[in-house]
Structures are given as C-alpha cells and as structure tokens.
Structure 1
Amino acid sequence: MSDVMETERQPLRVFAEKAYLDYSMYVVLDRALPHVTDGLKPVQRRIVYAMSELGLSSTSKHKKSARTVGDVIGKFHPHGDTSVYEAMVTMAQPFAYRYPLVDGQGNWGSQDDPKSFAAMRYTESRLAPYAQSLLAELDQGTADWVPNFDGTMNEPKLLPARMPNVLVNGTMGIAVGMATDIPPHNLRELAQACLHLLKHPNAQIEKLCEFVPGPDYPTGCEIVSEPHDLLKIYQTGNGQVRARARWERDEDTGNIIIIALPHQVSPAKILEQIADQMRAKKLPLVEDLRDESDHENPTRLVIIPRSNRVDAEALMAHLYATTDLEKSFRVNLNMIGLDGRPKVKNLKEILTEWLDYRFATVTRRLNHRLQKVNDRLHILDALLIAFLNIDEVIRIIRYEEDPKAELMRTFALSEIQTEAILDLKLRHLQKLEEIKIKGEQAELAIERATLEELLGDDDKLKKLIGEEIKEDAKKYGDIRRCNINAKPPAQALEAADITPAEAVTVVLSKAGWIRAGKGHEIDPQSLSYKAGDEFLCAALGKTNQLLVLLDSKGRCYTLNARELPSARSQGEPVTTKLDLQDGARIISMMFGDNSERYVLGSDEGYGFYVGLGELQARNRAGKAVITVGKDSNALLPCLTRDPAKDRYALATAEGRLLVFPLSELPEMAKGKGNKLVTLKGEDRILAACVVPAGSSLTLLCGKRSLTLKPSDLEGYIGARASRGGHLPRGFQRVDSMSV
C-alpha cells in the first residue's frame, strides 16, 4: 500500500493573504530598505562582506568582478548575478555614490549612461578605502552572526559602521506599500552633527541643521531650495530638494560652459533637450552645442550663444525652466530602525539611533578586547609560574604518568593554563622570555585598567566615540561639493524675449494664403500668386512680435510670424492655422507693440479703440472683439499714435464724409463701442481712416483720387454720431482712404 501524502487545506483568501504579507515583509526588510545602523541593503552588505573575505582590501590587487559576484550568489545571496553585479557597479560609480564603497578598474559606466558598464568578466574591483569604516571592527566581537541561506556558514547581520553611512551615501528603493529616497550628505558635516549630539543629547533639529545644511550630491551641483524647505525635510523626513547645474562663462569666447549637473542627470539628455528647442526654432539665442567632457573634466557642456550680446543669466534661467538643468529630488527618509521596523525618521532620530548603535558597538568591542586581555593575562600567569618553577615543571612532565593533572594539582592551575605550559617550546625556556612575560603582563594590566575605566564611565566612552568619529571624518571626509544658495524656481523666457527682433513682412492674398519674408523691402505686389488670386494686405513687424489677424465678423487671431511659410513660396491657406467661422474671412493684419492702439468698428456705424495686446488670442478659434450684426462686417483697423489729438474720418455709402476727434471714442477691450456716424436706411460705412493733426486725407474712388488738405477737412468736421458733409460729385463712392 503506497504512502498517502498528508495535505493541508485552507481557503485561497487565507493562503493568498499570508503569502502576500510574507513577501511584503521580505521585500521591506530584506531587499529594498536600508538599515539605520550601516545604511546598507542586504545585497550591498553581502557584497562588501564577500569582498573582504576574498581579501580585496583597498591596498590589495584588483580582481575580476565575476569572482566577487560568484562568491556573493554562491555563499550569501541566491539571486541573479545581474542584479548583484548592478548593485556592485552602483557602489563603484563616483557620480552615483558620494563616497564609493567599491574601487573599480575598467568600464564601470558613465554619467551619460550609468548602465553602459562592461560585463563582470571584463571589469576588476576591490574595496574602496571608505569601505574600511564599515568593516574595520567586524572581527572584534561587534556583529551578530546569522546562518546563510543554506546554513553552511555564517554572515554578519549588520556591519559595525564607524560613520552614519545611511546618510553619508544615501539610497533609494521601492518596497511594497512604501519607498525610500535618502540623499547623500557630506561626511564631515555629519560628523560635526554627531559630535554635537554626543555632547548635547537634547539638541534641536534646527541646531543640527547648522552642521548639516542640506544634501551633498556627488556631481557637485548647486542646491537652490529655500532654507525652510531644507529644514522641513530634516524635521519631517519628507520633502523635495531643488538642484541646478553650475556654469561659468568663458571670458575669451563668451561661451557658456556647464561644469556640473544635478544628480542622476545625463549630459546627453540635456544636449538633446536643448537641441530639440533649437530645431523647433524656439531657442534662436543659441547657435551651437558641444560636449567636451573627458576624464579631466567629467562634465563640460559648451553652449555657444548667437552673439556676445545674449544675456547669459536670462538664457540659463530659461534652460533651467525648460530642461533637466534644474531638477527636484524627492526626499523620503524611510529606513529600518533599531527596533527592526521601517519608519520615516527625522535627522535627530537617525543620528540618535546610529549613535546608540555606535555606543553598543564600541561597548561590545571593548568587552571583546577586555576578554582577550584577561584570557592572555590568565595564560601569562601560568607561564610565569612555569618559569619560576621550571625544574619542577620539567620533572613532572618527564616522570609523572599524568603530567597535566599533576601540574594542575601542584601549582593550582586551570586546564587552559596547563595546556599553555605543555605547549611551550624548548627555545622559549631561556631567561629572556621571563622578562618578556613580565613586560607583556605590565602592558596588558594597564590596558585592562583602561578598558575597565572606559566601560565603567559613559562620559569617557562618549569621548572615545567622538575621537573616533573625528579621526574617520579626517581620514575619509572632504569639503562640500554642492553649494547651497536659495533661489526661486526658474522661469522660462517669453517668446518675445527669446526671439531676436528681425524685420519681417507678412503677406496675405485675397484667397487667404499667408506667407512671411525677411526684411521690410519686399514688394507684395511683385510676388507670385496662384491663378485667380491676388494681393490683399501686408503687415510689417519684427519676429519678436505676434501677428494679430482680424476677420470680417470681428474676431481676432494670433500667429507667430516665425512659424509661417517663406515668402519665396506661395504660402499656405490661413485656414490651416486658424479656425474661421462660417462666412468669415481675414480682412487685415496688425503688427506692433502691445501698447499700440487701433480703432476698430463695424460698417453699421459703431466703434472704439483698443490696445493691440488686448487683441491677442491663445487658441486657433480666436476671440470675439467687435460685436458685428448679422448682415454687417468689421471695418479695417486703423492705427492711432495719439488718440487725444488724432481725428477719425468716415465715408458712407450716401457719399458723406465725417471727421471727428478720436478722443470722443472710448477705449475698450471688446464690444460694440459707441456710435460713430448717423446712418439712415441701407446706408453703411465704406471706408475709415485715422487722420493725425495737420495731415491731408486722400480718397480713392475707382481710378480717381481726391486729396483734402487740412483746410479742406474743416468743412467735414463734426461731432461724433452726426451725419457729416456731402463729398464732391464723382467722389461719392469711396473705395479707400489714406493719409
């Protein structure tokens, strides 16, 4: 009869819940989050320990990385070799780690592409000098040892870090339901904060932030966050850090040279972002880009302005706002504490817990050493007894059947002492050895007294810890790389500020085809038009100004002249760029400063004047400006330089001309306006024109023209909304008017 396998049955809900919780706890505690004590995740801790076991110290010869990876996955970390090697690479990259733990030889990636490192069979590695601060006390009884995954050997549960590495190098990770983003910091600053906290355990976070003003990224960028934002990060454990690239201007060439980028920003991506703006003609201030980075200058991006007159500060502010030259980094000081639980901690909690761990570590180290000293003194006592009674000892060893038991009985020795005597070599029986033993006893007695004094006095123990922190800060620390200068978020330049003021002529045909040409010397009449089409109007302006178009139904639209097709072509239909309403057509175009004023109106006899800036629309559909009746159309806009002195002339279908002071019209953003002239029956306005003081007015009627001098105009001057005077015979049907 075959054995029946016993099975356990449980609901899927219960099983799934337990399995997911087990997995979640594994990811949180054994993969993604660092520990406050040594600041390492398990894979990093195992890599560092495995390299130390292989003898790959900072003074040894480099060895193939594949050897380290093989040891790690074979002995301690049964996961994929790729993930282990990538973790190892990150610890070796000077642009990723503020104080690298691995010293690599070969291609270990670049800031341009951190993943471009060579395979582990090609690269070589050893531990960096700073790694010694994590490992130096490992063999001094300071670590708890746990079995590895298959129980064949032990590995340290935590490393006895001599510095608060969790903040020194920082880390990032995504667990289940939580994440961590810890920025790197300057080692010397952290050491100063720890020393202050040792002396003043009740110190406020504000005081600690005087020593640790902010993160210190390895790339040496500039931190521009406000001080209160940085303080909030260290008070709550959450926040954001804004960092900017650093740049300088070459005095000889005038070029802008970027010498440091924000953390984890690729130089190639920066160049691509700037080049995209240049290709889109949104950055004419820049003529060219170059990447001159090399081994001596890890970051050297050259931006060549179009001319020396370009404001470098304004240009860089624009690039900060539109590229990754300014970047915000999320900070989430989430880590596993001394209680084994993940928690977001503030600066004081982190340093206090690490100092507690350091206090316990140093206590264990001193106790371990004290035990060694006592053990050695115990043996030295036995050796001295042997030398003082050497003849009796020799006799017992030579003639007694059980010399070990006899020695223990005769001289009241312990078993360990007796073994030490029996293990003595003959050459150690000389007289000099007795002197050495007494000297060693004296030295060890002094050391024992010192150790017992340290272990019995917390103040002296704190002093020792402080001295060791100072020593390591001096040995491994360096000056701050990231300057902290609070600055407001960068603002992108307006299109008008970016675009150089180049002259441009925009031409529109009667069929609605639009184009633009450089300069103001273009003759629109001489341009080529499609069959059956002809010139309608033109506008002269500059490329840093926006073009405003007015349609027959009183709606205004805005276009960028830089985006219009060249005048060498026949242009494009304006309807491809604007959404005109049914039956509407573009009747005029306006260029100029936003402060310039135009008189607008409808042929049904109403109007007002308005600033050009009010006419700009943000979308293709434009915006309604003039209220026009169903069977009416908008008048051509007329520029007025001085509304207080200019006059407005109107010609109607009945053959009347009215001239009145423009000051009688209101200034409005949009609407119907005030009555311009009194119209009767089917009468309507045919043409309008602004007449500056002292100017003549020319009327065009078919092929005939009539010029009215200032004295002639006096007969047509009247009040606004009057009917005006009759024009001479033959000039009653006015097609257009001009000054």
Structure 2
Amino acid sequence: MSEEQLIRTEYSDLMQKSYIDYAMSVIVSRALPDVRDGLKPVQRRTLYDMQELGIRYDKPYRKCARIVGDTMGKYHPHGDSSIYDALVVMAQEFKRGLPLVDGHGNFGSIEGDGAAAMRYTEARLEKVTQEVYLADLDKDVVDFVPNFDETEKEPEVLPVKVPNLLINGAEGIAVGMATNIPPHNLAEVIDGVKAYMKNPSITTEEMMKFIPGPDFPTGGIVVNKDELQNIYETGSGKVKIRGKVEVEKGKGGKQLLVITEIPYTMVGANIGKFLNDVGSLVENKKTADIVDISNQSSKEGIRIVIELKRGADVENLKNMLYKKTRLEDTFGVNMLAVADGKPETMGIVSVIRHHVNFQYELATRKYTNLLAKERDKQEIQEGLMKACNIIDLIIEIIRGSKTVKMAKKCLMTGESEGIDFKSASSRMMAEQLCFTERQAQAILELRLSKLVGLEIEALIKEHDQTIENINTYSDILEHRTSMAKVIMKELDHVKKEYGTDRKTSIENAAEIVFEEKKIEEMDVVMLMDRFGYVRTVDQATYERNKDAADAENKHIVSCKNTDKICLFTNTGQLHLIKVLDLPFGKFREKGTPIDNVSKYDSESENIVSVFALEEVKKHKVVFVTQSGMSKVVEGEQFDVSKKQTAATKLGAEDSLVMAQIVYGGETLVYHTAKNMLLRIMLLELPEMKKTAVGVHGIKLNNGDYVKDCHLLYEGDSPMLEIGGKQVALNRLKISSRATKGTKH
C-alpha cells in the first residue's frame, strides 16, 4: 500500500484555476454559440437528436417530451427545461428570422404567453433545417466526439451551409461575458457571403451594400443607420429601433394611432408593459388626448390601437410614445461567439470569414470522401467490364474450383493449381489474370442476370458517369475557384428556396423631440382625512368649504400644484409625493389612499406631520423622538429625488414624535408619559445633518418616554390638561437642555 502524498499549493492559485476552468466550460460548452454553425450546444444537440430520431419535415410530428428526453439522455444532461426552452425558441417565428423547428400546438405568443408543457406539444424539423443544416452529416464532413458518458457520438459542429449566427442571431449569458446578436435577412446574408468569396479583402462599408443592417422578425424601423457601420466593424454597439405607427380615421371624426410593428425588444412581457406605460401617461396627466387603448393583435400580426380625442396633436403624441415608452428602444449588439475554441468579439466581415473558411473545409472533406467512393466504384466497374469480356473463362474457373478462396486467388494472381480446366489454353489464359481483391470479390458476387446486353450497356454508362464524377470532384479539390462555384451554387439554391423580403426598414431618423405641455401653476390645498385618503382642491373651493374641510380632514396643506408633499412618519422616514400625482377635483370627491401614490405603508408606520416641500426648504425642521433625542435640520436637505428617504436616524426601539417647521426663536416643551414637563430654548438644540441621531433634549426617568412635544411662539398661550388641571405652557420656567423638568 503506497503512502498518501500531500501536494502543497497556494489556495488562491487553486481557486483561480478552478474558477477559470468552470468559466471556460460555461462559455464554450453551454452559453455561447459556435461561429461556424451559429448554434449553442443545446440547440445543436436537439437538432441532431431530431435527425437521429427520424423526425423529418415530411414525417409526422412527435411529442416534444420524447425529443427532450432523448436529447437529455444521450447528449445534454443539463435538465429538461433548458432543452425544451431552446426547442420552443427555435420554433417561434417572432423570435427567429429562420425557424429551425416546425412546432405543432401552443408554442407561446409574441405577447409573452409561455408554451404549453412538453407533454402536450409536438415538433418536427423544418425543411430548411433538413436541407441546409443537417444535409451532409452522413458524408463525414464534421468530426464526431463522444457524448458526456462516452456511450454515443455527437457532431462537434453541424455542417450548416449559411451563416446562422447572423441569420438567426443569438443571445446568451456566460461567466463574465454575454452575447447578443441581432437576426439578419437570409437573402442579404447569402449575397454578403458571395461578395466575400469573390473579394476576401472586402471592407465593412462594402459589405453593408449587401447586408445594410439587422432584419428583425417583428419588423420595425432601425433609425441610426449611420452608426451601423461602426457596430459591424467592432462587433458591439447599440441599434435604435422604433415601432411602426400608422394614423387611421375612427368613428366620430376621432383619429386612431395604430401600432402595426413593434421593436424586437418588446417581444414578450414588454407588450403588456407598453400598454401599462401608456395608461400611466394618462393617469399621471402627461396627456389628456388619449381616450382608450386596446390590443387587437392576432395571429395575423400586431395591432395596438390608441384612440385619440378630436383635435389631438397626432405628431406630438407619436413623439411622446417614442420618448416615454419602449416604442423606441435600443438593442445592445455584442457579437461574441466561440471561434477556434475561444470566445471572440467579431465584426460582420470576420463572422463571414470564419463561415466561408468553414464552408471550404466542409467542401474539401465532402468531395474527398465522394472522390474516394467514386474511385472505388471505378475499380469495381472496370473489373466487371473486363470480366464480361471473358465471362466463359471466369465461369470455367468458378466451376473448376473446389473453394471460393481458390477461385478468388486465381482471379487475383492467376494461380491455377487445383482448378479443373476444360483445356490447356483456358489454364494459360487464367494464369494471365490479375484482378484486384475488390474486383475479384465483385466478380464472384456477380449475378448471371447482369450479363444480359442491356445490363452491360447500363454498366458502361454508369462507368462513364463515374469517370465524369471523378473528373468533377478532382477539379473541385484541385482548384479553389471550382470549389467556390459549387458553394455559391448551393447558396443560390438556398436563397431561391428560402429567401424572404426584408421586414425591418433602415433609415436615419431625426432625434425625437417631445415638448411636454407646461403645467399651469396654481394654488391648491391638499386634504387628507383620518382614513388616509388624499386629494387636492383649488384654493377658492377650499375657502368656500373651509369649516367642513377643517372638521373632516386630519392634514391640510396649502401648496402649488407643481410642488411636492413631505410626509414625516414615526419610523423616521420621509415620503415625497408630487402634488400632480394626487387626484384633483371637487370638494366632496373621496380621493385616493395615500399608500397608492407613495411608498408609505399605513400598516407599519404612522404619519407625524405633513408639509409642502417648498415651505420646508425655506426653513429648518426640529425633530424629537420618544427617547428625547432632538436636533434641528436645514430644510434644503429634504429636497431629494427619491420617493422615500431617511429623514432622521433613530436608535433601536425609538420612534419619531415631532417633525415641525421652525419659523423663529421659539421655545420647546417636552411632555412625557409620566407627565414630566420641560421647557427649553430651541436655540439650545444643535443644527445637524438629517443622518444624525441628535442630542438629549430631556433627561427621562426609568420607564418614561416623550409622548408629545410643543413649539411655542412669542405671544402663544396654549393650555395643556393634565390630571384634570389646565397647565399654561408659556408660564413654565425655561430650563436647560438634558434636564428632567417638573412633575405635573
């Protein structure tokens, strides 16, 4: 038994190596497509498995569960959902410019509906997949490698005849990198490949005469044409896409904005988000011209109808949709793929170069194999033709031989020992024979029916065809121009059979300019009742109903409609609400819960005070907590962009009791739960940042806490009832900060 060996190594080096190995495994074996066939391993394995199962385009559909299970068991042991998801996407014509799988059943919708479970759906290969992606697998044109458990063989790459990486695009997230390649038009890409084959030093600018830009299956308009050259040069950048909007006439003289094409990035759940965004524009009073929005999309295509008021500014509304929603969006291009076993970001010419080199490699292997087969056929055909001329002698050899081995040896070497011949001349002729082993075997297996005249003529014709094939294949292998012609001929066939018109238009469009209508500034009053329902009314309405408003509402704030409302809560939070987000209308309208227009949570926090932000900014705010922590904060600190922020820092188990605007040299009275009263000069409290805890304003006895606090202005004479007695707060003696005060 050998002794255990310990290998000492630096832990960080081991972790680094292990992580890099893992990252490369994810990059190469799962997340990124190969530049040669434009497929990720899961896609390649699924298509190959369908080919192996015989699920051709002209055969019946088979259950997706069968395909997924077979693929997972033989080639892709990474879970059934990843395989089924890949299968579904390859069948969705709204995600792929050239669908590779023919799906039968519910394979999801452009609006984001998921596909049915794999036990319900069926699939088979598309004709284009069979003819363009898998056609030459039987001709030994690509290497086959062992599967994960070395019980099966799978192709390292599929012999795809077109640059699938460009035609169908790709998306994938690896470790530390991601790929996002837009789809392109099949016919244009084939023209680009042919242009490269004719001129390998073609520039990106010249290539773009054939491939002007992406062609998304959802159509739309690419609006930054001038930026595409740099994107295709570097392999990264942003393509700006807009949906297509048409104007139609509706009932009653109203106009309709009809969206017939959407940006590719809106496919799925983002259509629902777009509808919600348009609804929000109306709710937030960004526009009053939209009456209704409906999604009338069907299998025939996208149709989202926005009904407008009569006399609406159509152009301005279109611009608003482009500016405020995802009707104009960007597609982040990152043309990253695995080339020569390594991830590489490539421009469009580089992708086509890799593809063309791959095509030459495929053609070389294909015609080398075909040439070898034709030469084998030639050898046998010439042997049979020669045998037909001396068939009587051959029959004599076969009849005179004791064993097949003896006859075969005679045919190959002329050895006649042990064979009975009718005459010495026959023996002499037999000794002249020198067929090859393959020819001798073919002669021995020859049927007598093949000796009739027509069959011999057919053999001669077949031999002539074989010689012609040998000459053709030799020419293709010896001359690159001949091979190029063959490749281009195949490309022309694919273009004629499967090419389609471009769906996405490409142009240089001006930057969208949308001018929001300036809101007319006016004085309003915010009313919040004790149930937390909030609304605004104009100043005149409030003045007419002042008594009722004061009696029915807990918080009343006068402000501008362009202002924000500050809500200070017992948890030390500040909630900022735009006044324009609050419902504005009649005095008796109920309003909306404050929770609906802010991040305030009525179940976990209580409102301490409410002010207009413009008022807060002009002054300072004094804060007092239950534990007596106190401070003054400059109001400008609360003018923030967030809807929710910390107004003050609280200790554990502490809560805010007071947040009050300071208007002058007031005094402050603390009132505790045990009826201790302390009056101090407000100037004794330091001015601090909103993130500070503060200082002790009152010294508390054990178990006591501040339950209330009062700001006194000069001339104020408020009364406080304690134990049935009235206490005048302005007559309390002014004491020092952090003292206990007096018992009442």
User: TM-score normalized by structure 2?
Assistant: 0.69
Structure 1 position 100, deviation (Å): 0.9
Taking structure 1 as reference, are residues 379 and 300 closer, same or farther at Cα in structure 2, changes over 3 Å only? same
Report matched runs for 1:97-176 at 5 Å: 97-113=96-112, 116-132=114-130, 133-176=132-175
Match of 1:471 in 2: 493
Structure 1 position 142, deviation (Å): 1.2
Within 1, Cα distance between the matches of 2:440 and 2:230?
65
Match of 1:330 in 2: 332
Indicate yes or no: 2:422 matched with 1:413: no
- Checking the alignment, whether the CA contact within 8 Å between 2:564 and 2:612 is kept in structure 1 is no
Structure 1 position 251, deviation (Å): 2.7
Within 2, Cα distance between the matches of 1:247 and 1:361?
46
Structure 1 position 562, deviation (Å): 8.0
Report matched runs for 1:206-221 at 5 Å: 206-221=205-220
- Checking the alignment, whether the CA contact within 8 Å between 2:68 and 2:83 is kept in structure 1 is yes
Match of 2:321 in 1: 319
Q: For residue 343 of structure 1, what is the amino acid of its counterpart?
A: E
SS in 1 for 2:249: coil
Indicate yes or no: 2:585 matched with 1:566: yes
Structure 1 position 489, deviation (Å): 4.2
SS in 1 for 2:442: helix
Structure 1 position 532, deviation (Å): 8.5
Taking structure 1 as reference, are residues 105 and 376 closer, same or farther at Cα in structure 2, changes over 3 Å only? same
- Checking the alignment, whether the CA contact within 8 Å between 1:218 and 1:481 is kept in structure 2 is yes
Within 1, Cα distance between the matches of 2:74 and 2:104?
24
Taking structure 1 as reference, are residues 445 and 285 closer, same or farther at Cα in structure 2, changes over 3 Å only? same
SS in 1 for 2:138: coil
SS in 2 for 1:580: helix
1:302 pairs with one of 300, 305, 311: 305
2:615 pairs with one of 580, 583, 596: 580
Taking structure 1 as reference, are residues 529 and 130 closer, same or farther at Cα in structure 2, changes over 3 Å only? farther
Match of 1:248 in 2: 246
Match of 1:458 in 2: 480
Structure 1 position 506, deviation (Å): 5.3
- Checking the alignment, whether the CA contact within 8 Å between 1:505 and 1:516 is kept in structure 2 is no
Indicate yes or no: 2:455 matched with 1:442: no
Structure 1 position 51, deviation (Å): 0.7
- Checking the alignment, whether the CA contact within 8 Å between 1:96 and 1:264 is kept in structure 2 is no
Q: For residue 357 of structure 1, what is the amino acid of its counterpart?
A: F
- Checking the alignment, whether the CA contact within 8 Å between 1:515 and 1:571 is kept in structure 2 is no
SS in 2 for 1:181: strand
Within 2, Cα distance between the matches of 1:399 and 1:425?
18
SS in 2 for 1:287: strand
Indicate yes or no: 2:238 matched with 1:236: no
Match of 1:516 in 2: 537
Match of 2:426 in 1: none
SS in 2 for 1:210: coil
Match of 1:355 in 2: 356
Q: For residue 431 of structure 1, what is the amino acid of its counterpart?
A: G
Within 1, Cα distance between the matches of 2:125 and 2:468?
35
Match of 1:591 in 2: none
Superposed CA deviations along residues 652-692 of structure 1, whole A, max 9, x for unmatched, are: xxxxxxxxxxxxxxxxxxxxxxxxxxxxxxxxxxxxxxxxx
Q: For residue 302 of structure 1, what is the amino acid of its counterpart?
A: V
Structure 1 position 141, deviation (Å): 2.5
Match of 1:641 in 2: none
Taking structure 1 as reference, are residues 398 and 214 closer, same or farther at Cα in structure 2, changes over 3 Å only? same
Match of 1:487 in 2: 509
Structure 1 position 47, deviation (Å): 0.7
Structure 1 position 130, deviation (Å): 2.4
Structure 1 position 581, deviation (Å): 5.3
Match of 1:343 in 2: 344
Q: For residue 205 of structure 2, what is the amino acid of its counterpart?
A: E
Structure 1 position 165, deviation (Å): 0.7
Taking structure 1 as reference, are residues 395 and 580 closer, same or farther at Cα in structure 2, changes over 3 Å only? same
- Checking the alignment, whether the CA contact within 8 Å between 2:265 and 2:329 is kept in structure 1 is no
Structure 1 position 91, deviation (Å): 0.9
Structure 1 position 442, deviation (Å): 0.8
Report matched runs for 1:250-269 at 5 Å: 250-253=248-251, 254-265=255-266, 266-269=270-273
Taking structure 1 as reference, are residues 17 and 251 closer, same or farther at Cα in structure 2, changes over 3 Å only? same
Structure 1 position 281, deviation (Å): 3.2
Q: How many percent identity over aligned positions?
A: 34
Q: For residue 138 of structure 2, what is the amino acid of its counterpart?
A: D
Superposed CA deviations along residues 2-26 of structure 1, whole A, max 9, x for unmatched, are: x679566443444333322221221
- Checking the alignment, whether the CA contact within 8 Å between 2:563 and 2:614 is kept in structure 1 is no
Taking structure 1 as reference, are residues 515 and 69 closer, same or farther at Cα in structure 2, changes over 3 Å only? closer
Structure 1 position 232, deviation (Å): 0.6
SS in 1 for 2:615: coil
Taking structure 1 as reference, are residues 571 and 5 closer, same or farther at Cα in structure 2, changes over 3 Å only? same
Taking structure 1 as reference, are residues 409 and 577 closer, same or farther at Cα in structure 2, changes over 3 Å only? same
- Checking the alignment, whether the CA contact within 8 Å between 1:221 and 1:246 is kept in structure 2 is yes
Within 1, Cα distance between the matches of 2:550 and 2:265?
60
Gaps of at least 5 residues in structure 1 are 534-542, 550-557, 585-616, 621-628, 632-739
SS in 2 for 1:250: strand
Taking structure 1 as reference, are residues 223 and 403 closer, same or farther at Cα in structure 2, changes over 3 Å only? same
Taking structure 1 as reference, are residues 475 and 583 closer, same or farther at Cα in structure 2, changes over 3 Å only? closer
Structure 1 position 336, deviation (Å): 1.4
Superposed CA deviations along residues 368-426 of structure 1, whole A, max 9, x for unmatched, are: 21111111111111111222222222222222131111121243112222222222233
Taking structure 1 as reference, are residues 121 and 414 closer, same or farther at Cα in structure 2, changes over 3 Å only? same
Q: CA-atom RMSD, angstroms?
A: 3.6
Structure 1 position 310, deviation (Å): 1.4
Taking structure 1 as reference, are residues 216 and 507 closer, same or farther at Cα in structure 2, changes over 3 Å only? closer
Within 2, Cα distance between the matches of 1:147 and 1:548?
67
Report matched runs for 1:576-725 at 5 Å: 576-580=611-615
- Checking the alignment, whether the CA contact within 8 Å between 2:236 and 2:335 is kept in structure 1 is yes
Match of 1:276 in 2: 280
Within 1, Cα distance between the matches of 2:182 and 2:507?
18
Gaps of at least 5 residues in structure 2 are 415-432, 527-533, 552-559, 566-576, 592-606, 620-638, 643-662, 666-744
Superposed CA deviations along residues 287-324 of structure 1, whole A, max 9, x for unmatched, are: 11111111223x1111111x131122211211122211
Indicate yes or no: 2:40 matched with 1:17: no
Within 1, Cα distance between the matches of 2:137 and 2:5?
45
Q: For residue 125 of structure 2, what is the amino acid of its counterpart?
A: L
Indicate yes or no: 2:86 matched with 1:87: yes
SS in 1 for 2:227: helix
2:547 pairs with one of 504, 509, 529: 529
Superposed CA deviations along residues 9-47 of structure 1, whole A, max 9, x for unmatched, are: 443444333322221221111111111111011111111
Superposed CA deviations along residues 123-150 of structure 1, whole A, max 9, x for unmatched, are: 0001112213111122122111112222
Match of 1:380 in 2: 381
SS in 1 for 2:240: strand
Structure 1 position 575, deviation (Å): 6.1
Within 1, Cα distance between the matches of 2:413 and 2:505?
73
- Checking the alignment, whether the CA contact within 8 Å between 1:319 and 1:492 is kept in structure 2 is no
Within 2, Cα distance between the matches of 1:36 and 1:559?
52
Within 2, Cα distance between the matches of 1:166 and 1:517?
61
Taking structure 1 as reference, are residues 581 and 273 closer, same or farther at Cα in structure 2, changes over 3 Å only? closer
Taking structure 1 as reference, are residues 76 and 562 closer, same or farther at Cα in structure 2, changes over 3 Å only? closer
Taking structure 1 as reference, are residues 421 and 514 closer, same or farther at Cα in structure 2, changes over 3 Å only? closer
Within 2, Cα distance between the matches of 1:484 and 1:243?
9
Taking structure 1 as reference, are residues 356 and 507 closer, same or farther at Cα in structure 2, changes over 3 Å only? closer
Match of 1:554 in 2: none
- Checking the alignment, whether the CA contact within 8 Å between 1:528 and 1:570 is kept in structure 2 is no
Match of 1:50 in 2: 49
Indicate yes or no: 2:245 matched with 1:224: no
Q: Which moved more, 1:147-156 or 1:36-45?
A: 147-156
- Checking the alignment, whether the CA contact within 8 Å between 1:172 and 1:181 is kept in structure 2 is yes
Taking structure 1 as reference, are residues 77 and 433 closer, same or farther at Cα in structure 2, changes over 3 Å only? same
2:291 pairs with one of 268, 282, 287: 287
